[in-house]
Structure 1
Amino acid sequence: MQNELVIKLASLAGQIMLEAGGETYRVEDTINRILTSYGITNAQSFVMPTGLVISGEHLDGTTVSLVRRVNAINVDLEKISMINDLSRRITQDKITPDEFEEGLKEISLSPYYPLWLTLMMTGFAALCFTMIFRGTIREAICAFFAGITVYIFKRIAKGFRLNFFLQNAVGGITAVLIGSLFKQMNIIPTISIMVIGTIMLLVPGITITNAIRDTFQGDYISGVTRGVEAFVTASGIAFGTAIGFVLTGVM
């Protein structure tokens, strides 16, 4: 029974890491470390961006395996760090499976950043990107409010269970429409730089990075999967932005 519990806990840890945006090889390494630390023999794990398979052997030679499906991804690097720290405590502090389970529950239920802070940081990021692309102070301030609006509309689109292509298309359209509104109010002369600074929020940077790292680690299935995801996401951004420019006729 304890071996079955350990395998369930290892799979839960891997699921939390995948949902938080962890790389495939890091998830596999963490799962294998947990299993071997609790004495599971012949520990094996196969992880993909959409799920994972784990197996291990009892002392009597019988094999236990488990499959978990991963549907949602909400990048949270803090949770990945917390899982890594918790898994290290297994060997350092010799925590029991029950204590490990409690730690996983705390991490799984840990609150995300407050909405107001997320909105402020999203707007500030759009402002900084606009300044990097040599935008004016007015364009940067407009990008601040546009970034907040894009985040809100993308979150609404996610609430309607739209796929990530359409979610990013909604974000691209929103960025252009908000920029067009500011131009109509004669606050900024053009919207190009402001829109670029705003849609940088949507660029799948972590997905691209993970695709490259997984590929270099030899996880070609995960690398290609994440690469395709990044391509589709970028296509959604481009599609939404193009539709926005067509609708407004503003450049």
Structure 2
Amino acid sequence: MDYNRIIQGILDIGEAMLQSGAENFRLDDSLYRMCKSYGFKRYDVFVIPSNIQITVETPEGEIITQIRHIENTDVDYDRLDYLNNLSRYVCKNKPDEKELREKYLEVMGREKQHPAAKYFAGVMGGTGFAVFFGCDLMDAIVAVIVSLMIVIVGGWLSKREDNLLIYNLILAFLSEVIIITMTRLGIGSHADRIMIGIVMLLISALGTTNGIRELLQRDYISGTINIMNSMLGASGIAFGIALAMLLLDGVASEGFILNHSIPIQLISCTIACTGFAFWFKIRGRQVLYSSIGAFFTWAIYLVVYELEPSNFLATLVAAIFVGFYAFIMSRINKAPSTIFLTASVFPLIPGPNLYYMMFGCVSKNVALAFEETVVLLATCLAIALGFLVVDVVSRGIMRAMKTEYHIGKRSSR
């Protein structure tokens, strides 16, 4: 075989997986498995969100090193699912360089999601969470308009602006201006609650959660990069909201409140998370599994909070459920767990805390800003700890079943 082309093909798959939303440590494992399947004497893999490096020693003793720089990402979990299946195929069949390239192009050439799906996804996600956070009918109408604006302007802007801070700043600013203007015209009455729902379309708190999770697993470089990227995105949202508030003086806040009806909470968050499943380009029955996961995630949070009114504890228990649910679904469907994890965990993401943290800064309410910052970080930590508990337990289960959970560098020696 032409091992240089083989490594190039493996890197093609790895790059596409990372750009499609693969978790760093999962991709690391997939690359190691593909390298191992070709019988290299030794193989070393290094993965961070912006770079992949592979060095191998061929059966003939030749040393090959290839590096791939990752410039941008566009989450596409349907593509990730098929790339994951391709990595499994590679491990099982060890295709030559020509077949490997053909299989890769076949996956990359799959028919894309219908353009209309993005509009439905935005409306379902933004409006669903707006209702979840206590908006009435007129507020929901405003949320629909702003959600559509984010899809249209965001699609145009994404082709022209790679800086996440600037991208989020522009969209958050336009959203807040529209919301404040419409509420002052009498169309809608709860500007802050509408914006909280809209923020969920932009928020990158899951990046913070995954970053903390990676730090706890001693993947310091990737964890730091993910946290910094998340903070960059959150700063853009905060600056955009703050700028709109300062320009349109006199913005008031009624405070964060969930919809008073628990059934409406469950229905609205499920609809919103179904929208996010489409937003992340999930397709088929996996959309249904994501919706079911979101429903039970919030139901478990409510039950735990009723028994012990602690946001940290309720979030931790709900995150443990999400982690196990994603683990089980990934085994049943032979798909990456992140597909089922991401949309299902969204009811726990602290979007309201980010908004009120910024509101406290703009209104010079230091106590509010500090309080919301603490809750935001504590919530992210609770989610990360919940995922970590699942990771530890699932490794034990896989070992008991004598199944390799993560092969890593040790297997190359």
TM-score range, shorter chain: over 0.9
C-alpha separation between the residues in 1 aligned to 2:87 and 2:120? 33
Aligned residue identity for 2:46? F
1:92, distance to aligned residue in structure 2 (A): 3.7
Aligned to 2:179: 179
Quick one: structure 1 residues 215 and 27, their matched pair in 2 at CA, closer, same or farther if it must change by over 3 Å?
same
User: Structure 2: how far apart are the matches of 1:90 and 1:183?
Assistant: 56
CA contact (8 A) 1:164 1:233 kept: yes
Deviations 1:47-102 (A, max 9, x none): 11111111111222120000101000111122222111111123445544432322
Matched, 1:151 2:157: no
The answer on whether the counterparts of 2:39 and 2:59 sit within 8 Å (CA) in structure 1 is no
Q: Secondary structure at the match of 1:140?
A: helix
Deviation for aligned residue 1:179: 0.7
Query: Is the CA contact 2:211–2:227 (under 8 Å) kept in the aligned structure 1?
Result: yes
**Distance apart, 1:29 and its partner CA:** 1.0
Rounded Cα–Cα distance in structure 2 between residues aligned with 1:172 and 1:54: 39
Q: Which runs of 5+ in 2 are unaligned?
A: 253-413
Deviation at 1:242, TM superposition (A): 0.8
CA distance 1:153–1:200, change in 2 (3 Å):
same
Tell me what 2:233 maps to. 233
**Conserved in 1, the CA contact under 8 Å of 2:214 and 2:223?**
yes
Amino acid aligned to 2:139: E
Task: Provide the secondary structure at the position in 1 that maps to 2:52.
Answer: strand
SS at match of 2:46: strand
TM-score by length of 1: 0.92
Matched, 1:108 2:108: yes
* Equivalent residues in 2 for 1:47-62, closer than 5 Å: 47-62=47-62
CA distance in 2 between counterparts of 1:208 and 1:154 reads: 22
Distance apart, 1:169 and its partner CA: 0.3
For 2:18 and 2:61, the matched residues in 1 are separated by 30
Q: CA deviation at 1:111?
A: 4.4
Q: Which runs of no fewer than 5 residues in structure 1 stay unpaired?
A: none
Structure 2 match to 1:33: 33
- Whole-Å Cα distance in 1 between the matches of residues 111 and 218 of structure 2? 34
Deviates more, 1:86-95 or 1:74-83: 86-95
Q: Given the superposition, is the C-alpha separation of residues 41 and 95 from structure 1 closer, same or farther in structure 2, using an over 3 Å criterion?
A: same
SS in 1 for 2:44: strand
The CA deviation string for residues 178-197 of structure 1, in whole angstroms up to 9 with x for no partner, is 21232243111231111111
Q: Which one-letter code corresponds to 1:36 in the other structure? A: K
SS at match of 1:153: helix
Structure 1 Cα separation of the partners of residues 11 and 51 of structure 2? 10
Which residue identity lines up with residue 52 of structure 2 in the other structure?
A: L
1:242 aligns with 2:242: yes
Aligned residues with identical type, % of pairs: 26
Show the counterpart of 1:214: 214
2:204 aligns with: 204
Secondary structure of the structure 1 residue equivalent to 2:211? helix
- After superposition, the Cα gap between the structure-2 partners of 1:112 and 1:217, relative to the gap in structure 1 and judged at 3 Å, is farther
- Opposite residue 176 of structure 1, the aligned amino acid is E
After superposition, what is the alpha-carbon deviation per residue over 1:153-185, rounded to whole angstroms, capped at 9, x for unaligned?
A: 233332222511010001111111221232243
Question: Does the 8 Å CA contact 2:20/2:79 hold for their aligned counterparts?
Answer: yes
| Letter paired with 1:69 | H
1:12 aligns with 2:12: yes
Q: Residue in 2 aligned with 1:164? A: 164
Which residue of structure 2 lines up, in the alignment, with residue 123 of structure 1? Answer: 123
1:90–1:96 Cα contact (<8 Å) kept: no
Distance apart, 1:231 and its partner CA:
0.8
**Equivalent residues, number:** 251
Higher alpha-carbon deviation: 202-211 or 59-68: 202-211
Q: Secondary structure at the match of 2:135?
A: coil
Whole-angstrom distance in 2 between the partners of 1:96 and 1:5: 9
State the SS of the aligned residue for 2:202: coil
- Aligned equivalents of 1:3, 1:23: Cα separation in 2: 26
2:53 touches 2:66 (CA, 8 Å); kept in 1? Answer: yes
